[in-house]
Amino acid sequence: MSTQSEFSLIDSYFTGTTSERDDVILGIGDDCALLQCPADHVVAVSIDTLVSGVHFFADVDAETLGHKSLAVGLSDLAAMGAKPAWFTLAITLPDSNEAWLQGFSQGLSKLANRHNIQLVGGDTTKGPLTISIQVHGFVKAEQALCRNQAQAGDLIYVSGSLGDAGAALQLKLDQWHDEQLTEQDLQYLIQRLEKPTPRNGLGIKLRDYATSAIDISDGLSSDLGHILNKSGFGATINLAELPLSAALKKIPHETAAQFALNSGDDYELCFTIPAARQQEFESQFANECSLIGTIEAKHGLRIIQLDGQQQIMTGAGGYDHFSA
Ligand SMILES: [Mg+2]
């Protein structure tokens, strides 16, 4: 595409669609945006690329894709305890389909405006459908929720419910179904996969409590594994305590628990809290967060199964079975 068509695509469909922030000195339309970071804060930055046929179904609705493309970045900001501020967008499109761009822009801007995050730059090119979004947020350096600060004895919590998106993906791939699920349950699960809710409000409140945090994009077992590796500790989690939605409570517990433990795309938060603050934390957050385990000095991830037996997770989706 020529420079002119690049400019007009961004100009027509994206300029002015997101809230105008005071800290944007110069937004879309020049070679660079000029942005003002508040004193005493640092900028948290993260980029995600979504590729058609790899990260989303090629026939997904444009508005839904607009939502999800930004939601995954917002979720990373939530996991750092950073307040969303700005984002940039690069779209590669097979052709300049106006209806598609309109829908995509709507999904994107609706979510952006809910979080007061402003689009400050973009680029469009021609090619297989690919979306890259880089998000920027503010946090005080000493308050950022890093993966490497969990301590032995800390309690492990997750927000919301787990496994919904993973169940939805298996449904969409026709690899799994359960007779107990109603049409409403199916719609709920698909919504969780396609339109995840990033936990930014919670992420900011967790600055006052959490020693470490991560968002669950790849699956609890592997994302918690990142906290354990970076912090240099191990953990035991209890499969029976993994929070399940009303829909997943209808299916066999063993199946639901495996979705909750291993499947990704939920975009909930997993974080650690010093045990001494359990009561104080739960008095405020018991409704939206669940205690699932404990950080331990002994390395490795130990899972207490539904039958009470303990298994050691070795990573790469495999277990080492042993009787405790
Ligand atoms: Mg992440």
User: Residue 207 Cα, ligand 1 centroid: separation in angstroms?
Assistant: 16
What is the model's pLDDT at position 17? 86
What is the model's pLDDT at position 10? 66
pTM score, whole prediction = 0.93
- Per the DSSP assignment, residues forming a β-bridge with 46 are 135
Give Cα 308 to chain centroid, integer Å.
30
User: Residue 213 Cα, ligand 1 centroid: separation in angstroms?
Assistant: 9
Residue-wise pLDDT tens digits, 148-174: 999 999 999 999 999 999 999 999 999
pLDDT band (50, 70, 90) for residue 124? confident
pLDDT band (50, 70, 90) for residue 320? very low
User: Residue 76 Cα, ligand 1 centroid: separation in angstroms?
Assistant: 5
User: Residue 77 Cα, ligand 1 centroid: separation in angstroms?
Assistant: 8
Helix, strand or coil, per DSSP, at residue 41:
coil
Q: What does the domain layout of the chain look like in residue ranges?
A: 3-143, 155-321
Residue-wise pLDDT tens digits, 180-218: 999 999 999 999 999 999 999 999 999 999 999 999 999
Q: Does domain 3-143 have CATH number 3.90.1150.10?
A: no
User: Residue 73 Cα, ligand 1 centroid: separation in angstroms?
Assistant: 8
User: Residue 245 Cα, ligand 1 centroid: separation in angstroms?
Assistant: 22
User: Residue 121 Cα, ligand 1 centroid: separation in angstroms?
Assistant: 22
Say yes or no to pLDDT of 314 above 80.
no
User: Residue 199 Cα, ligand 1 centroid: separation in angstroms?
Assistant: 12
The top-level CATH class assigned to 155-321 is alpha beta
What is the model's pLDDT at position 29? 84
